[in-house]
Amino acid sequence: MRHILKLAGALALAAGLAAPAAAQEKLKIGFIYVGPVGDHGWSYQHDQGRKAIEAAFPGKVETTYVESVPEADSDRSIEQLARTGHKLIFTTSFGFMEPTLKVAAKYPNVMFEHATGYKRAKNVATYSGRFHEGRYVQGVIAGKMTKSNIIGYVGAYPIPEVVAGINAFMLGAQSVNPNVKVKIVWANTWFDPGKEGDAAKALLAQGADIITQHTDSPAPLQQAEAAGKFAFGQASDMIRFAPKGQLTAIIDDWAPYYVERTRAMLEGKWQSHDVWDGLAKGKVKMAPYTNMPDDVKKLALETEEAIKTGKLDPFKCPVLDQDGKQVECKGKGALSDPQILSMNFYVKGIDDKLPK
Amino acid sequence: MRLELVPRTDVPGYARTLAPLGAIVAAILIGGLVVALLGRSPAAALDVYFVQPLSESWGLQELAVKMLPLVLIAVGLSFCFRANLWNIGAEGQFVAGAVAGAMVPLATHGMEAGPWVVVVALVLGTLGGALYALIPAFLRVTLGVSEILTSLMLVYVAQLGLDWLVRGPWRDPKGFNFPQTVVFEPGAQLPMLMEAGRLHAGAGLAVIAVLATWFIFSRTLFGFGIRVSGEAPKAARFAGFDANRLVLIAFAVSGGLAGLAGIVEVTGQIGQLKPSISPGYGFTAIIVAFLGRLHPVGILFGAFVISLTVIGGENAQILLKLPLDLTTVFQGVLLMCVLAADALVSNRVRIVRTARA
């Protein structure tokens, strides 16, 4: 009798334990965006990645996002995702770094992925894209296309990622046109179509005939189009905003990475890491080359291919800084990744002083 | 035909108290209608918006954390606004206080200096905010410059100053050149009040500020002077109140509390300086101050409502997948309802027929 009771108890226990697993609980995945999903740039692309997850694992995942989260007040939003059963959380802007780490320390069973940061933990991975590779290609195109030899650059904030982008762009331009000048206006925002557009207008008024941008809205591109000049899209293919003005765009394709990390979660194989992929792995893509002569298009394609295959490194040595001094070469024939990730100098020929 | 608002002479006290509550109910009804039109359950929205944040310790603590800077700044602003002085620059004084206070944790970083660091930081932060607010006050008193313009413009000066500091001299040397300072040591941060959650000791300071302000306005000659100089400047002059002195003190108190809010936010919540340390608390606090009718208890209520809509809106995004725009719209509806209720309680609507020419 006792045995039977024991057995019954064990069975009941087993059934109780097995029940939730049998119900196939969906994996909840959360996203924190710095801008609105409708910015058609940075946050929009992350949201495309989120949608790709939903499409890749129908019925197995549930995704949530919080948009326009202020970086100075993001702890609560991140923690609320962790509290409400989200097991994998992507925080998609540099400013979320410390808040992500703080929340992650409290929720060891929730895995976090922080974009563009450098601090990691057992449950915090980091990832980013080698966007400067795309900027080098853009530089080559701009160097060929400019008639005034003045290129306008709308920057968000002088952080290393943006500075490295400016430098790569300049090196690309100089590789085909030694007389090219780059003028920079800091918008001091990632997303503010009004300010971004004004910055582009100021640059056009200074004689720039090509505009490139490291801010998230299509406004600078639209200003260039309205002025009959050329520009590059940012983060996503923005051709519909400037059918006659966009030369190409750097596309941040987060989708494969997000799908891969979700799969790792589902299979229980998720581990913290740092990933920094570029054109070769498809994390960074170039939109179709449009509104340019065939020879420029051919050159752009060749440059893209050379970077993909590793034949060309945008920061191949020697790299000269603004004073013409050679920058120490810490990588193999090129600047090392840590040097690029902490870049705080301009290369020779940039007509601006780095705000410090 | 046109509508006219005629001031009521006899508004009972309870009507003034009930008006904001009625406004909230009206806003909830409008909000519920919008949610229903979007095909979602208004009851569920009401639950995540208003009930959940208030029914658990975590939500309540988050609410308090969010209210804290708003209350401190708005209580300070009430000194200026009651005296009819337009300090629009609390955001800048917030930043100035954060910068002045942060000097201590940054200077003692790596020395394991102990909890006196945060105390000195709070004092310096308050002084920093007060001194920064005295600039527009001084310009007004000596040169007659409009404090509205100067206090507002000084916001941008403070923000750019902070920007320069975190990119230059105060940048974390190990931070890959990103614009931010080191993370303060535990001793240089405000202690947490509860095990789980983020409520920190700054809450005590806000309570003290509210009580002290209530006491000053209801029980002291100085508080009386502020009120009189705002409502009847001539009478204040006849009564012998020194108008210039009041301007300077009101701005110093206002700026001091905004500065305190800044350093409290940095040492209690963020833990480091970054180019942006406030999602606009200094400006939101102006709304809070007027929502609370410049009364310290009213300000608590105003900060509560504003913070709840922010947190509730976020919950609605996470739990119901409602769009952010909807929560912003709801905030606007709520504010409009409160203002409308206020206007309707203190005024009578009269329809005036205009004769045809």
Across the interface, whether the CB atoms of A72 and B177 are under 8 A apart is answered no
Residue A12: pLDDT band by 50, 70, 90 thresholds?
A: very low
Q: Is A67 on the interface with B (CB under 8 A)?
A: yes
Cβ-defined contact of A70 to B274 (cutoff 8 Å): no
pLDDT at B328: 87
Contacts of A158 in chain B (CB under 8 A): 167, 179
State whether residue A276 sits within 8 Å of chain B by CB: no
pLDDT tens string A120-130: 999 999 999 99
Residue A35 falls inside a structural domain: yes
Is-cis flag, bond preceding A218, omega within 30? no
Give which of B58, B156, B166, B176 to mutate to test A binding, by max A Cβ within 10 Å. B176
Chain B environment of A343 (Cβ under 8 Å): 177
Q: Are B230 and B82 within 8 A, CB to CB?
A: yes
State whether A84 and B319 contact (CB < 8 Å).
yes
> Does residue A113 sit in the same domain as residue A144?
no
List the one residue out of A157, A159, A28 whose CA is nearest residue A87: A28
**Residue A35 near residue A69 (C-beta atoms within 8 A):** no
Q: What is the pTM of this model?
A: 0.86
To the nearest whole angstrom, how far is the Cα of A45 from the nearest Cα of chain B?
18
Tell me which chain B residues have a C-beta less than 8 angstroms from the C-beta of A77: 314, 318
- Mark yes or no for CB contact B178/A94 under 8 Å: yes
Chain A partners within 8 Å of B324 (Cβ): 36, 66-68
SS (H, E, C) A32-99: ECCCCHHHCCHHHHHHHHHHHHHHHCCCCEEEEEECCCCHHHCHHHHHHHHHCCEEEEEECCHHHHHH
* A15 lies in some domain: no
Taking Cα atoms as reference points, which of B120, B97, B138 lies closest to residue B257?
B97
pLDDT for the residue B357: 52
pLDDT in tens, A206-237: 999 999 999 999 999 999 999 999 999 999 99
Structure token digits, residue B140:
């007004």
Instruction: Give strand pairing partners of B5.
Output: B349
Q: Give residue B26's Cα distance to chain centre.
A: 24
CA distance A222 to A145: 18
- Taking an 8 Å cut-off on Cβ atoms, the answer to whether A159 and B177 are in contact is yes
CB contact under 8 A, B279 and A73: yes
The two structure tokens encoding residue A333: 């024939």
* Pairwise CB contact (< 8 Å): B279 & A77: no
A287 lies in the same domain as A304: yes
Same domain, A83 and A225: no
A342 touches B at CB < 8 Å: yes
Of the candidates B62, B66, B176, the beta carbon closest to that of A160 is on B176
Asked if the Cβ–Cβ distance from B65 to A76 is below 8 Å, we say yes
**Min CA distance, A344 vs chain B (Å)?**
7
Q: Which of B62, B275, B324 sits opposite A76 (nearest CB)?
A: B62
User: Do A51 and A183 reside in the same domain of the chain?
Assistant: no
**Rounded Cα distance, A146 and A132, in Å:** 20
Over residues A19-29, mean pLDDT? 68
∠ CA B355-B356-B357, nearest 5°, is 115
DSSP assignment string, A337-351: HHHHHT---PBTTB-
User: Is the minimum CB–CB distance between B139 and chain A shorter than 8 Å?
Assistant: no
Looking at the fold, whether A58 and A101 belong to one and the same domain comes out as yes
Q: Quick check: A10 pLDDT over 90?
A: no
User: Is the ipTM reported for this complex over the cut 0.85?
Assistant: yes
Answer yes or no: do A77 and B314 touch at CB < 8 A.
yes
Asked if A239 and A333 sit in the same domain, the reply is yes
Do A135 and A185 have their domain in common?
A: yes
Q: Cβ contact (<8 Å) for A64 and B177?
A: no
- The number of folded domains in chain A is 2
Per-domain boundaries in chain B: 67-284
Q: Are residues A262 and A300 in the same domain?
A: no
In a domain, A14, yes or no: no
A33 touching chain B per CB within 8 A: no
Are the Cβ atoms of B176 and A342 closer than 8 angstroms?
yes
Q: Indicate the residue type of B293.
A: R
Chain A, nearest residue to B278 by Cα: A72
Statement: residue A203 has pLDDT above 80: yes
Residue range of the domain that includes A230: 131-249+283-341
Model pLDDT for residues A63-109, shown as the tens digit of each residue = 999 999 998 889 999 999 999 999 999 999 988 999 999 999 999 99
* Domain co-membership, A104 together with A76: yes
Helices (runs of H) and strands (runs of E) counted in chain B: 13, 2
User: Are A266 and A326 within one domain?
Assistant: no
Q: Which of A54, A73, A93 to mutate to test the interface with B (most CBs of B within 10 A)?
A: A73
Residue A5 lies in a domain: no
Q: Where are the alpha helices (DSSP H) in chain A?
A: 2-22, 42-56, 75-83, 97-106, 131-145, 160-174, 193-205, 219-226, 255-266, 294-309, 337-341
CB neighbour burial string for B219-258, b if at least 16 within 10 angstroms, e if fewer: eeebbbbbbbbbeeeeebeeeebeeeebbbbbbbbbbbbb
User: Regarding predicted confidence, which is higher, B123 or A15?
Assistant: B123
Q: Which of A77, A80, A97 best probes binding to B when mutated, by most B CB atoms within 10 angstroms?
A: A80
Å from A35 to nearest chain B CA? Answer: 11
pLDDT (tens place) for every residue of chain B, 357 residues total:
788 888 888 888 888 878 888 998 999 999 999 999 988 899 999 999 889 989 889 999 999 999 999 999 999 999 999 999 999 999 999 999 999 999 999 999 988 888 899 999 999 999 999 999 999 999 999 999 999 999 999 999 999 999 999 988 999 888 877 889 999 998 899 998 887 789 999 999 999 999 999 999 999 999 999 999 888 888 888 888 888 999 999 999 999 999 999 999 999 999 999 999 999 999 999 999 988 889 999 999 999 999 999 999 999 999 988 888 888 898 889 889 988 988 888 888 888 887 665
Task: Check residue A356 and give its pLDDT.
Answer: 62
B29 close contact with A: CB closer than 8 A: no
**What pLDDT is recorded for position B151?**
97
Looking at residue B355, what is its pLDDT?
Answer: 66
Calpha distance B236→B231 (Å, rounded): 9
Q: B59: closest CA among B69, B76, B70, B47?
A: B47
CATH code of the domain containing A97: 3.40.50.2300
B324 close to A (CB below 8 A) = yes
- Interchain contact B174–A (C-beta under 8 A): no
Residue B271 near chain A (CB below 8 Å) = yes
C-alpha span between B185 and B111 (Å, rounded): 9
pLDDT at A342: 87
A149 plus A291 within the same structural domain:
yes
- Report residue A24's pLDDT band, with 50, 70 and 90 as the boundaries: low
Over range A135-157, report the average pLDDT: 96
**Residues A51 and A116 occupy one common structural domain:** yes
